[in-house]
Structure 1
Amino acid sequence: MQQELFLPVSNNFEKLFLSKKDYDVIIKAGEDNDQREIYAHSNILRCQSDYFDTAFSSNWAEKKDGKYFFKKPNILPHIFEIIIRYLYCGQLDLNVKNGPDTLKLLVATEELGLNILSEYIQEFLIKQNDPIGILEVAFQHENFTTLRGYGLEAICQDPYILFGTDKILSLPAQILESLLKRDDLVLDEIEVWNNLIRWAHAQQPTVNKDPSEWTKDELTLMERTLLRFIPLIRFHDITSEEYYDKVVPYDDLLPKKLKNEILKFYLVPHAKQIGSLPSRIAVSTIDSVLINSKHLALFAGWIDKKDKSLKMIPYEFNLILRASRDGNTAAAFHNKCNNKGATIIVIKIKGTNQIVGGYNPLDWEGNAIYKNTQDSFIFIFNDYRDINTGKIGRVIDASHALVPILISIFQRVLKSMIMKHFRWLKNRF
């Protein structure tokens, strides 16, 4: 009923907008060949916009022969026409606009102080799912907080839409800095470092790609380029092997104090952190020298029966038992793992880079007792350093899928389970 009452009123305002009858406002939008006059009524604009109300109440608008004159060279005529029509009729269909026009419309709403319309357009742009393009616009205008927050969160949840691609090479420094400051960036820290170095070289294309060949001037140039970013790297989440291979070649970029802290972290057993920034959420979810956040994302996908890595990890992974620390006896295993709920076992095969393991969605109570589940699985990585070598085996016979085995005989039972009760699937990404 209310809609029926609203429509006639809206239609009458639309007729006034189209007819321009008794207009008293002339807006010159655009400039040069793109300039056009737009006619409106001051009472309508004054009621709908604080910007126009202030303009009509001050010396902002020139008044001549009973008419107000505005010049808006930075807003295209067709964009201004859309805004004026919205102020009259409350109507706006963004689905018929192209991307650039929608962004121009958003920028214009900020200038004119149309906060409700600005939020509406930001929500629309978010649904279009272009976080990189959104961020580039949002960081040019400080009031686009909704867009900025969405863009940063979207990339942190799915960093591979940016990191590791050529898109990062032209990313503005302010956006990159904002991303590296965040604790929820789901990316291994060594990849953060590698992408930062790629970005720095893209900003300074004349600098030699081999840091061992840098001149003093080239070193100074790269130091200035990376000065604001290096303190944002969580070096305590980079393994000593990764540090030696990837960071040491750029060792001269690091401040002396930081290098001493890193050295202490790798050499002193109880040193937990470097600098004031904590581990990123995805990296800090497990204490392991065999697996990292990529493995966890893949495990999470396997648990959810997606057979691929999840963009966001919906589970918390905590280390329960480490054989080198807690022992590899049956008693140690049951003491640590009983009554803990769902668990994943990861075992490295001595003398190789292979790891094998399995997921138990139930518990480890009992000994040599079969348990019924369709959700358990086993896995193997031919090279634990390469996530793409992972294969998963899913359940064929649910009634014999899970045996609460002792950790000391896990590998022998694993071989039997592979042959009898599981089907192997090549991991798909």
Structure 2
Amino acid sequence: MKIIMSQYFRTAFSNELTKKKDGKYIFNFPNISPKFFKIILRFIYCGKIDLEKLQGQDVLKLLTRADELKIQRLVICIQEYLIKHQHEFLQQNPTEILETIYLHETFTDLWNYCLEEICTKPDLLFKSDKFINLKAPLLELLLKRDDLSLDEIIIWNSLIKWCFSQHPTIQQDVNKWNKEEIVIMERTIHRFIPLIRFYHIPSADFVTKVYPFKEILPKDLINNILVFHMAPDEKLNVDVQSPRKPKCVYDSVIISDKHFAIFSSWIENKNESYYNVNNIPYKFNLLYRASRDGNTIATFHAKCDNKGATIVIVKITNSEQIVGGYNPLYWDSSNGWKPTSDSFIFSFANKDNLQSAKLGYSNYGDPYSVFGGNVNYGPLFGGGHDLGFSNNRWYRSCSSSYPDVGIPLNNFQTDDYEVFQVVKK
């Protein structure tokens, strides 16, 4: 009997939860509409299911009914369909969908998919007007994620917005809170405090956007963060959480999407209002990775010549430092120099600390901004060999065509380097 494939029905028969009339078993399913039950029965008896005529909301309801009946094969099929064919629906109301999935332990595929989507594209949820309706356990799960692709100050601002929404009668002006309001807000935010990586919030943002809420934050936390920013050489007896490490959309093993947002801003010579990971106006296509393609000059030119603008990223061995440069023109093995005022070189003393970046544009009118390359040279920036690759090593001779941005002098060991083609979207 095919209906026995469901754990629900096996239990119903064994526990005599059914009624028998005229030799037939009678089940009562008040939560399942005839339309859904017809689909479920067809799957049970024929192993077939057609979901294309259903709206996304109905497919999700059908999934919950299949789980109620414990038909695991159907649960797996419907999850797969939603992920492959209903991704727009899943993005439209992430709050409601997350809460539905959260209540069903068997929806693991859909749960993992939705969490990864939100962590990669957090605006789907955090900029939604329904964000404030998110249940506390779900918000807590999201804030625990290492791969949540949001600046920490935006996470903090979103948390404060959520806390206010839980108590709409509490006034927005922190300085006017009475003791009762302070206690209420402190209790509301308490469970989330360990999940905010305060030490990775820039000092200016901490002073203007976090410090005003000092009454609802632990005093030792406030004091330690003040010391961290005002006396950076002072050793703190605290465990500083590592920064979040969101999944990189741009296929880099060296940097994160946040670096690409910064590169985009530098390419357009922005001094303020930098791009963020959600509004990057360029595509960065991986052309070459030394560890993957072979660390040779010939391979670099075979992969990167005549591909237009590129950015080179180099990871230095035994440190967190990365260096590199942007060529707005092209590599071509022409054995000639190319003048441009739009190229730049850069360094991050610590790739996980975006504030450690140093940037230097080519000197205006300098004819030696970028070397096209030849059999002896890979990427080469500047007439003084401000940054270059030759004889299977990276090096810097002197600062000539670019300012000194902290690239090590002479030869230095590297773990890997990548070259990305830069294309305007």
Question: Fold match, TM over 0.5?
Answer: yes
How far did residue 278 of structure 1 move?
2.7
Cα distance in structure 2, aligned partners of 1:231 and 1:281:
17
Q: Contact (CA 8 Å) 1:299, 1:309: kept in 2 or not?
A: no
1:187-215 deviations in whole A, cap 9, x for unaligned? 11111111111121122211111111112
Change (3 A) 1:98 1:255: same
Is the radius of gyration larger for structure 1 or structure 2?
A: 1
Query: Structure 1 residue runs of 4+, over 6 Å off?
Result: 300-303, 360-363
Counterpart check, 1:86 vs 2:43:
yes
| Deviation by residue 1:266-318 (Cα, 9 ceiling, x = unmatched) | 3352647955643211499xxxxxx9963434538999xx85277x9x99xxx
Supply the distance in 1 between the matched residues of 2:173 and 2:424 (Cα, whole angstroms). 35
Q: Does 1:77 align with 2:34?
A: yes
Alpha-carbon offset, residue 103 of structure 1: 0.9
- AA aligned opposite 1:72: F
Structure 1, residues 378-402: CA drift from partner, whole Å, max 9, x if none? 499xxx99xxxxx9xxxx9984895
Q: Give, in whole Å, the separation in 2 of the partners of 1:276 and 1:337.
A: 24
8 Å contact kept, 1:236–1:273: no
Report the alpha carbon displacement of residue 107 of structure 1 after superposing the two structures with TM.
Answer: 0.4
- Look up the SS of the partner of 2:399 in the other structure: helix
Secondary structure, in 3 states, of the residue corresponding to 1:72? Answer: coil
**How many residues align structurally?**
315
Farther-moved stretch of structure 1 (273-282 vs 168-177): 273-282
2:400 alignment partner in structure 1: 409
1:279-298 equivalences in 2 (<5 Å): 279-282=243-246, 294-298=258-262
- The answer for the alignment partner of 1:308 in structure 2 is 282
Q: Which residue of the partner structure matches residue 3 of structure 2?
A: 45
Are residue 252 (structure 1) and residue 220 (structure 2) matched? no
Which residue pairs with 2:171 in the alignment? 208
Paired with 1:151 and 1:272, the residues of 2 have a C-alpha distance of 38
Distance 1:178 1:307, change over 3 A: same
Residue 63 of structure 1 aligns to a residue whose secondary structure is: strand
8 Å Cα contact 2:126/2:158 also seen in 1: yes
RMSD (Å) for aligned C-alpha atoms: 4.6
The one-letter code matched in structure 1 to 2:400 is I
Task: String of CA shifts for 1:117-146, please: whole Å, max 9, x gaps.
Answer: 111111221222225254232112232121
Look up the equivalent residue of 1:45 and give its one-letter code: I
- 8 A Cα contact 1:44 1:88, kept in partner: yes
- Give 3-state SS (helix, strand or coil) of 1:53's partner: helix
Distance 1:157 1:87, change over 3 A: same
Tell me which amino acid in the other structure corresponds to 1:90.
Answer: G
> Between the two proteins, what is the percent identity of the paired residues?
40
Q: Give, as a single letter, the amino acid of the residue that structure 1 aligns with 2:17.
A: W
| 2:11 corresponds to | 54
**1:299 is matched with which residue?**
263
Give distance in 2, aligned partners of 1:292 and 1:67.
62
| Distance in 2 between residues matched to 1:148 and 1:191, nearest whole Å | 24
CA shift, 1:358, in A, is 3.5
Q: What SS class does the counterpart of residue 408 from structure 1 fall into?
A: coil
Q: 2:326 aligned to 317, 335, 358, which one?
A: 358
Aligned to 2:418: none
* Counterparts of 1:270 and 1:359, CA distance in 2: 40
Give the match for residue 205 of structure 2.
242
Q: Which amino acid aligns with 1:193?
A: W
Decide whether aligned partners of structure 1 residues 54 and 283 sit closer, same or farther in structure 2, where only a CA change above 3 A counts. Answer: closer
Deviation readout 1:54-74 (Å, 9 max, x if unpaired): 322321112233221211112
Q: Write 1 or 2 for the structure with the bigger share of helix.
A: 1
Relative distance call for 1:57 and 1:412 in structure 2 (3 A) is: closer
Q: 1:231 to 1:397 in 2, by over 3 A?
A: closer
- State the shift of 1:104 in Å: 0.9
CA–CA separation in structure 1 for the residues paired with 2:257 and 2:148: 11
Superposed, which structure 2 residues align to 1:175-214 within 5 Å? 175-214=138-177
Alignment CA distance shift 1:93-1:198 (3 Å): same
Greater Cα offset, 239-248 or 269-278 = 269-278
Q: AA paired with 1:44?
A: K
Deviations 1:241-285 (A, max 9, x none): 21101101111111223223323433352647955643211499x
Any unmatched runs of 5+ in structure 1?
1-42, 285-290, 316-335, 346-356, 364-368, 386-390, 414-426
Does the 8 Å CA contact 1:302/1:308 hold for their aligned counterparts?
Answer: no
Is the alpha carbon distance of 1:62 and 1:190 closer, same or farther for their aligned partners in structure 2, counting shifts above 3 Å? same
1:110 aligned to 2:67? Answer: yes
Distance 2:72 2:78 in 1: 10
- Change in Cα spacing, 1:102 to 1:297, as seen in structure 2 (3 Å) is same
Write the distance in 2 (CA, Å) between the matches of 1:293 and 1:119: 32
Distance 2:239 2:247 in 1: 16
TM-score, normalising length: structure 1 = 0.61
Secondary structure of residue in 1 paired with 2:27: strand
Answer yes or no: is the 8 Å Cα contact 2:119–2:246 preserved in 1.
Answer: no
Matching residue's letter, 1:408: S
SS at match of 2:26: strand
Query: After the TM superposition, which residues 252-401 of structure 1 pair with which residues of structure 2 at under 5 Å, given as runs?
Result: 252-266=215-229, 267-269=231-233, 271=235, 275=239, 277-282=241-246, 294-299=258-263, 307-308=281-282, 344=323, 358=326, 370=336, 377-378=343-344, 399=372
Secondary structure in 2 matching 1:68: strand
Note the C-alpha offset of 1:185: 0.9
- Is the Cα–Cα contact under 8 Å of residues 83 and 110 in structure 2 kept in the other structure? yes
